[in-house]
Amino acid sequence: MPTWINLQRISDERGGLVIAEAQKNIPFVIKRVYCLYDLNDKPRGFHAHKKLQQVMVCLVGSCEVMLDDGRTREMVKFDKFSQGLSLPIMIWHEVLNCSHDCVLMVLASDYYDEADYIRDYDFFKSSVMR
């Protein structure tokens, strides 16, 4: 299942800094970064990846993510910009209940490849149960 990563925080009288470093606190080389924003009440995601690893960080606001490894479902809340959630391969995920100001950043281990996505939940379940 996914695991929480504490991102390094440094702060002084000038303000704060949160650090994410590839192959240090991020468990892979980062090849793509994208952000979800202006989210509404419509859930997003509804897929798993065959090879892609990701780390999700909620930079602003909050949201919940439903995680499913084919055996266990778990709902986690994102509300700390200094924590990331590391998603290994073959984790079905859905982003829900986003605050109006939510900005969710995703660090990805590879470039976009539609062939890496599993978008059918029944196929996902049968794939992980083998």
What are the structure tokens assigned to 44, written together? 């997003």
Among candidates 56, 29, 52, 30, which has minimal Cα distance to 116? Answer: 52
Q: Containing domain of residue 68, as a range? A: 3-128
Task: Please enumerate in sequence order all residues whose Cβ is within 8 A of that of 71, keeping only pairs 6 or more positions apart, or say none.
Answer: 128
Examine the residue annotation and report whether 93 is marked as an active-site residue of this protein.
Answer: no
Give 97: exposed, middle or buried? Use CB within 10 Å, 0-12, 13-18, 19+.
Answer: middle
Count of the separate structural domains present in the chain: 1
Q: What are phi and psi of 49, to 5 degrees?
A: -120, 140
Q: How confident is the model at residue 128 (pLDDT cuts 50, 70, 90)?
A: confident
Handedness of CA 87, 50, 95, 107 (dihedral sign): positive
DSSP structural state of residue 125? H
Question: SS3 for 114?
Answer: helix
Write down the pTM of the prediction. Answer: 0.92
pLDDT, tens digit (0-9, with 9 covering 90-100), for 53-78: 999 999 999 999 999 999 999 999 99
CATH of the domain at 11: 2.60.120.10
27-39 pLDDT per residue, tens: 999 999 999 999 9
